[in-house]
Amino acid sequence: MSARILIPIDGSTVSLQGLHAARALATADDVLELAMVVEPTPAFISTDYAELAAQAATSHLEEIEGRISDHGLEVESVVLFGRAGDALVERSERADMVVVPTHGRGAVSRMWLGSVADHLMREADAPVILIPVRETTEGDEVPMPDFRPPERVLVALDGSEFAEGVLDIVATRFGEGVITLLRVVEPLPAIVGPYLPQTGATNEVLDRNREEAEEYLGQVAKKLQECGLSVRTHVVTGGRAGESIVRYAQTDDSDLIALATHGAGGIKRMVLGSVADKVVRSSPLPILVVKPEG
């Protein structure tokens, strides 16, 4: 099945990391759509600015199209007008996926991340893949090493149906690799008081929570395995969810972290604001963020 992949471009070399990643992810039937945004201009700027900026954006996109047109992929481009985040969210309604680096800088429209990518992550209905970009100590942006199609995908689950909303796209786009289902059992708060002995009761509850998490992951894994997918499970106990997800992904040599933008309790943001935010802000790995329906 073909997919339309939206790639925001802001004129910077760094923003092309999204294009580089999208090309690695795309199949022969997919369509890559490059999008630049011309933002509103202050009243004191020339009335011709929007037209000139649109011409510059069109020229830049045509140049990029020319560079990648010989790779056998269908490439389209579009110039949007308005606030970058809002314009791209609206455009993403036509896309099956958005691929964007986590920061960049542009001369045509000064987008960007954590503003634009953050806005897309929270508001876009289409799945968003965030490609981290490192910085040197001098502040010069340095792209990550060459992006490759993920062969080991870590899926963070919290036991809710919302969080499981990420599984469909993982199975569809990355089902040829190894999928690891991870659940973090966080430490318990002090129930009585920090100075009273409660280690035995605490350990008993943690053990029970871990057993329940293992059973839950086993049930989810079985459904995926019945579809022919290679699936593993792992439970981490005692750490904070966001930190534990990133740490495990690195030690397990994962290529991609996948998670939903809201989970247990129906609170928007899977705890985006806490868990997903922590993962997005601290992970050196690409992250697939999905906003489940409902």
Residues 17 and 136 in one domain: yes
- Answer whether residue 50 is part of any domain: yes
Could you say which of 121, 142, 163 is where a domain stops? 142
Quote the domain boundaries for residue 201: 152-290
Residues 159 and 134 in one domain: no
Average pLDDT, the chain: 83
Under-70 pLDDT residues of the chain? 1, 43-47, 70-71, 103-114, 134-146, 189-202, 262-273, 294
Structural domain total, the chain? 2
Integer angstrom CA distances of residue 225 from 91, 160, 292: 35, 20, 22
- Answer whether residue 147 is part of any domain: no
Residue 251's CATH number: 3.40.50.620
* pLDDT the model gives residue 10: 87
